[in-house]
């Protein structure tokens, strides 16, 4: 059993923290939202009155915050100072690669073990403990973080040095954003040509058009009964979060001098969807925009 400080127990962090409670750890939670804190306290976590108090004396410090600015403020403002020299620092938020690298390097300079460990999988996977973690950081920090990540996920993969977890996450989601648009376009074209959606699915899912966007998250109702299209695009992975990840990918590409024309187009289309009021819907609702 370890003492675990969990900073940011919102939609994702709440379920993750509760899985650590279930695994037998003493979880000290801190969040600016009383509602978010109440959920995890009801499940057996102890509420801390500040991030620093949660982290002082903890074996593991986990953050699950909205964006890079929150993560930088939390570590530079409180957590680096409060962390004991043997503590393991794990940032699970999805943030920009540059901030993740900077935080990893700052931790290393202070002699602290830190990894960036963003997740794939939504709130259902966070609740069920079936997330996939993409981890960046020194091999020793990865080895130390692995046991606790295993208790919140189904796969924990070392991607490389500091920031490489975030790099893997945004590169993966750039494929996902672009492939969903391509899939949705194809279903709209098939429809306009008079080809049944189910028939097109039966063919393309077994041909070279196959992708996760088609076979797990099919943007039309019917062929994949569990896809968000069957519940009018409610739940699932919000278009606003896809847009966030695409913006992170575009910023990283600019910094690295990479050409990402398809990713840029995907960002523009998800921005349009969000501007049209579709940010809360699942990202496969991009098909509505394409239908016109």
For ligand NAD, the binding residues (CB under 6 A) are 7-8, 10-13, 30-33, 36, 51, 64-66, 70, 74, 93-94, 119, 122-123, 237, 241, 244
Q: Is 169 a catalytic residue?
A: yes
Residues 6+ apart with CB under 8 A from 143: none
> Encoding tokens for residue 96?
């920009």
**DSSP secondary structure letter of residue 238:** B
Cβ 2 to ligand NAD shortest distance, Å: 20
Residue closer to ligand NAD by CB (options 36, 260) is 36
Cβ 201 to ligand NAD shortest distance, Å: 25
The 3-class SS string of 77-111 reads HHHHHHCCCCCEEEECCCCCHHHHHHHHHHHHHCC
* CA-CA-CA-CA torsion sign (214, 217, 218, 222): positive
Cβ 114 to ligand NAD shortest distance, Å: 17
Residue closer to ligand NAD by CB (options 87, 242) is 242
H or E element in which residue 239 lies: helix 239-256
**Is 290 in contact with 188 (CB distance < 8 Å)?**
yes
Residues 6+ apart with CB under 8 A from 35: none
Q: Which of 101, 169, 244, 288 is an active site residue?
A: 169
> For ligand NAD, which residue has the nearest CB?
10
E strands, 22-150, are 26-30, 46-47, 60-63, 88-91, 113-116, 119-120, 131-136
Cβ 186 to ligand NAD shortest distance, Å: 26
Helix (H, G, I), strand (E, B) or coil at 212: helix
Burial of 167 per CB tally in 10 Å (0-12, 13-18, 19+): buried
Residue closer to ligand NAD by CB (options 36, 220) is 36
Residue closer to ligand NAD by CB (options 29, 190) is 29
Residue closer to ligand NAD by CB (options 65, 102) is 65
Cβ 124 to ligand NAD shortest distance, Å: 9
- Residues belonging to the active site: 169
């Amino acid at each position: 059993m370890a003492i675990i400080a969990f900073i940011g127990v919102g939609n994702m962090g709440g379920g993750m923290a509760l899985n650590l409670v279930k695994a037998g750890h003493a979880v000290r939670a801190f969040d600016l939202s009383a509602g978010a804190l109440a959920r995890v306290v009801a499940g057996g976590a102890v509420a801390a009155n500040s991030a620093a108090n949660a982290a002082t004396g903890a074996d593991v410090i986990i953050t699950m915050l909205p964006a890079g600015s929150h993560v930088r403020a939390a570590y530079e403002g409180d957590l680096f100072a409060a962390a004991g020299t043997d503590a393991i620092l794990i940032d699970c938020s999805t943030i920009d690669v540059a901030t993740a690298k900077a935080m990893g390097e700052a931790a290393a300079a202070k002699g602290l073990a830190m990894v960036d460990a963003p997740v794939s999988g939504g709130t259902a996977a966070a609740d069920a403990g079936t997330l996939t973690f993409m981890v960046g950081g020194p091999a020793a920090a990865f080895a130390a973080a692995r046991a606790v990540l295993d208790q919140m996920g189904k796969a924990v993969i070392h991607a490389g040095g500091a920031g490489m977890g975030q790099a893997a996450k945004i590169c993966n989601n750039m494929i996902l954003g672009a492939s969903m648009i391509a899939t949705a376009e194809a279903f709209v074209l098939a429809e306009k040509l008079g080809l049944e959606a189910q028939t097109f699915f039966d063919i393309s899912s077994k041909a070279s058009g196959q992708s996760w966007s088609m076979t797990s998250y099919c943007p039309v109702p019917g062929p994949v009964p569990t896809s968000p299209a069957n519940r009018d695009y409610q739940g699932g992975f919000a278009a606003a979060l896809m847009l966030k990840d695409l913006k992170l990918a575009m910023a990283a590409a600019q910094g690295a001098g990479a050409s990402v024309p398809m990713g840029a187009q995907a960002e523009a289309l998800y921005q349009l969807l969000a501007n049209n009021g579709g940010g809360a819907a699942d990202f496969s609702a991009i098909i509505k925009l394409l239908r016109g």
